[in-house]
Every structure is written in C-alpha cells, then in structure tokens.
Structure 1
Amino acid sequence: MSGATHPGAAASYAARIAHHVPSLHDMHRMAGILLAEHVPENGRVLVLGAGGGLELRAFAQAYSGWRFDGVDPSPAMIGQARDTLGQDSDRVTFHQGYIDDAPKGPFDGATCLLTLHFLSQDERLRTLRELHRRLRPAAPFVMAHHSFPLTGGQQDLWLRRNAAWLIAEGTPEAQAMAGISSIKEQLPVLPPEEDELLLTTAGFRDIQLFYAAFTFKGWVARACQPGDLQSSMRHGHVPLTT
C-alpha cells in the first residue's frame, strides 16, 4: 500500500514504488515462494495493503489456484489494482478499509507489504493481532516495510545509504536527501528487533528474516497453533501487554 489517496498519486504508484524499493519484484516473488510452502494449491490468501495490485499480480500469475481478499483504504488504489491484475482480478475480492474491514477468514496465508511502517507501534500491534485472528493455525504470514536501527547514529547512516541508492537510480539528489527528513518526521519506524517482538506478541512464531535492502526488512512467520502461546509463557517468554 502506498498511502496514495488521489488518482494522480495512484497512477504513478507502480513506477514510483519499484524505483524506491530495491528488488521490489524479487521481493514479491520471494513472498510468494514463502507462502507456497504452506498455502495449499486452492488456498485463500489475505493481502493487507493491496492497493496498486503489484504483489497480487505476482501471486496470481505464479499460483493459479489461489484466491485472494485484498484490503486497502484507497478507492483509487483499488481501482489501479484491478487494472494491474487484468483478467486475474476476478480471483480477488477487494475490501475498502483497514484490517477491521477484512473478512474473518480463516485464511491459509497473508501478506502485508510496505504498509505497517505507516502505523504507530500500538496500532501496528493491534493490526497484527487482528490479522493473526484471521489465519488458520500454522498459516504463513509475510511482511516487509521500513525497519532499521534508530540509535547511536544508525538512523541517519541507514537513511543516507537509502538516499544514495535512490540517487544511483536516478532520483535528483535534493529530492533524495529531502526524503530523509520525510521518513524521520512522517513514519513511525521501529528497529528490527521491535518489529520481531511485535510479531511474537501478536501470536506468531518461527519468525525469520528473508529480505534486507538498506532501510527495508522483510520477515516470514507462522500463526501459533493452539497451545503454542501458553507453552511460550510457561518457558518464561512473556509477550508485550500493550
């Protein structure tokens, strides 16, 4: 999901996001491979932040038996997703809104790509918990977004590296450097260890990093099966209470 809310922003989304996220299309393919380890051939997949349709198109083309529910708050971005998908759009049921507007499932797998960095820590945790409730036990979940160290000068270091990537890709230097301030001021980014803790607290297990590209990180995890959380607490792994 881009955060775009008007047709002009939606129309430019595909080119813009591919320019800003290193190996975006490869990340989509990797996400599909990770889902396919556990999603059955006729599985149902929840895509949270589905506007634009780029990951939906990658999944639909690679896995012909899957059906999808795509959730996004922007009507313009949902419209672009339909255009992006073409004839595969009939395999997707779109829902305008946020996680609370998603069907209850249960789903065989889920993704949330380039979306959670827009949410505060409390709202991010709530979203992950609601997403977990919609998954079958042991179903896979893939997420990716901005996540990098914030202390000891690491925040500025990684943001400068990200700007250098954009400049190398053709972004004007002034625009790329201005993006550093935008990210710092507008995105409630968390460091990777806190993102992983939120996954654990929301009920996920087997958390593994699969994608790392400057300021972006991506993880795959699985929904806890009945008894997993209680077992974890018995062994002293007490989750966050927020």
Structure 2
Amino acid sequence: MNTPEGAEPFDFDGDYGGDYEYIARTVIPGYRSSFRQALALLAGRVGPSPRVLVVGAGTGIELVTFKTAEPGWRLTGVDPSRQMIEIARRRMREAGVGDGARLVHGHVSDLDEDGFAAATCFNVMHFLPDDGAKQSLLHDIARRLAPGAPFLLFELHGDRSSPRFDELFAAWSRYWKIHGMGEAERAAFRARIDEGIHWASEARILQLLAEAGFEDAWRYYRALLYGGWISRRALQPLRSSSGK
C-alpha cells in the first residue's frame, strides 16, 4: 500500500483503487452490512420498481446487493474512476444482475436524467474538501431526486477539535490491526488519511444536507468514526448551488 511520490493519496484509478476491496473490508466497520442496512431502509420507502441512483458505485457490491434482493429495482451507478466502473461491471456480470442496471463513468453532474425515487452515497464525501465541493455534490444529488425521495449518506466523519475524536481515531487505528493490517500498511494508510481525508463533523454534515435541499435528516448508524444518515429531498423547489 505504498503511495508513489507525487501521486494522489487516494487514486482510485491507481494502486489504491486496485486494493480498495481489501482496504474497505479491513478498515470500515460493518462494510458489507452497511449495504444491507441501506437496502432495508430504502425498501420501506420506495415502490416495487424504483429508479435508484448509486453515487460512488465503487466495486459494485452495493449494486449487486440491491439487485439480488430486489430484481425489480432499476439502478444507475455513477463513479469517476474508470477502474472502479470496470470492476463493478465485471462483478455485476458474474452475479448475473446486469439487467435493469447501468454504470456511468463520470460525476453526478454528468447524468442526463432526474426524478430518481431514491439515492445513496457511500464513502465518497470525505474525499472532497469543504470548499464548496461537498455542497456541490449533495446539491447535484438532490437535483436528480424526485421531491420527497429518500437519500442515504454513509461517511467517515468527525470533529477534530473534540477530545473524543482522538480516542475514536486511536480505536479505529487499532481496529485496522485487529483486522490483520500490518504495521507498515497501517503507517501508509495513516499517511493517506492525513493527506487526503477532509473531515466534517456530524453537525456540519447535517448543515450541508439542509443547505443542499434535504430535510428530516437523522443518523441511523454509528461505528467509531463512520456514520450513516437518512434524509429526503425537500418537497419545495431547490435553490441553485450558489444559494441564489
């Protein structure tokens, strides 16, 4: 897990993308069950054949989980990494769940459709700086949802000024070791985090959701520094991303 000098700390079209499945299973508490939780929450809020937007399709586990349990769901997975798209496409083909699901290489802003009945965004926003990029992503998602549509957000988060953050981060680091990550791997992963993760507190996440056009947001999951929130696209018309 070495990052070449000058490379992005989280290069999803490079070595990090190739190792992503192993890393995610090792460092994210409840990684596999998080998709089943999302399925359980969404299934109670959508009809039998909804169009669902999956932001950050990654290696395709989320898409396969959804389509295996709910074959009638029509899925659109979007990811800016070509390597992730190819891995997801292969996984979906092997699972036999390609019908009614499409993969888009690009960003949410590139999508040419809206009116989705639900959306998810797992392990994406913490890679974006809070300089307008986080807000822009959430606003782009909201614009593509039908009014009242549910939205699930799952993120690494935390208030670095809080004394509890240090304790949770230390426990999270020990979690990597418990899951078998060696000392050199842990040091390399810590270096990636220090350089490439853009932390936001839960209060800030809730604020960003509200400003992007979501309402009734509440946390349904917490494990160390990971959290899951469910909200819904507001019923009233959305403001522009600039707030005007």
TM over 0.5: yes
Question: Matches of 2:159 and 2:167 in 1, distance apart?
Answer: 9
1:76 equivalenced with 2:83 (yes/no): yes
1:4 equivalenced with 2:15 (yes/no): no
1:41–1:66 Cα contact (<8 Å) kept:
yes
2:155–2:226 Cα contact (<8 Å) kept:
yes
Higher mean Cα deviation, 176-185 or 203-212?
176-185
Name the structure where helix makes up a greater proportion of residues.
1
Higher mean Cα deviation, 52-61 or 177-186?
177-186
Q: State the partner residue of 2:222.
A: 212
Deviation of the 1:200 alpha carbon: 0.8
Deviation of the 1:210 alpha carbon: 1.3
1:29–1:58 Cα contact (<8 Å) kept:
yes
Letter in 2 for 1:24: Y
Question: Matches of 2:119 and 2:112 in 1, distance apart?
Answer: 12
Which consecutive unaligned segments of at least 5 residues does structure 2 have? 1-9
Q: State the partner residue of 2:39.
A: 32
Letter in 1 for 2:98: S
Deviations 1:106-164, CA, capped at 9 Å, x for gaps: 10000110011111121110111111010011101011111112104443322211101
Letter in 2 for 1:91: G
Question: Matches of 2:98 and 2:19 in 1, distance apart?
Answer: 20
TM-score, normalised via structure 2 length: 0.87
Select the residue among 104, 109, 124 that pairs with 1:95: 104
Question: Matches of 2:218 and 2:123 in 1, distance apart?
Answer: 17
Q: Compared with structure 1, are the counterparts of its residues 101 and 241 closer, same or farther at alpha carbon in structure 2 (3 Å cutoff)? A: closer
1:105–1:135 Cα contact (<8 Å) kept:
yes
Listed as ranges, the matches of 1:1-242 within 5 Å are: 3-6=11-14, 9-86=16-93, 87-121=96-130, 122-226=132-236
SS at match of 1:197: helix
Question: Matches of 1:13 and 1:38 in 2, distance apart?
Answer: 30
Deviation of the 1:47 alpha carbon: 0.6
Deviations 1:37-85, CA, capped at 9 Å, x for gaps: 2221111001111021011111111111001111111111111101111
Letter in 1 for 2:79: D
SS at match of 2:99: helix
Q: State the partner residue of 1:237.
A: none
SS at match of 1:45: strand
SS at match of 1:88: coil
What percent of counterpart residues are identical? 30
Structure number with the bigger relative contact order (C-alpha 8 A, sep ≥ 6) is: 2
1:11–1:80 Cα contact (<8 Å) kept:
no
Q: Compared with structure 1, are the counterparts of its residues 10 and 182 closer, same or farther at alpha carbon in structure 2 (3 Å cutoff)? A: closer
Which consecutive unaligned segments of at least 5 residues does structure 1 have? 231-239
Question: Matches of 2:189 and 2:20 in 1, distance apart?
Answer: 16
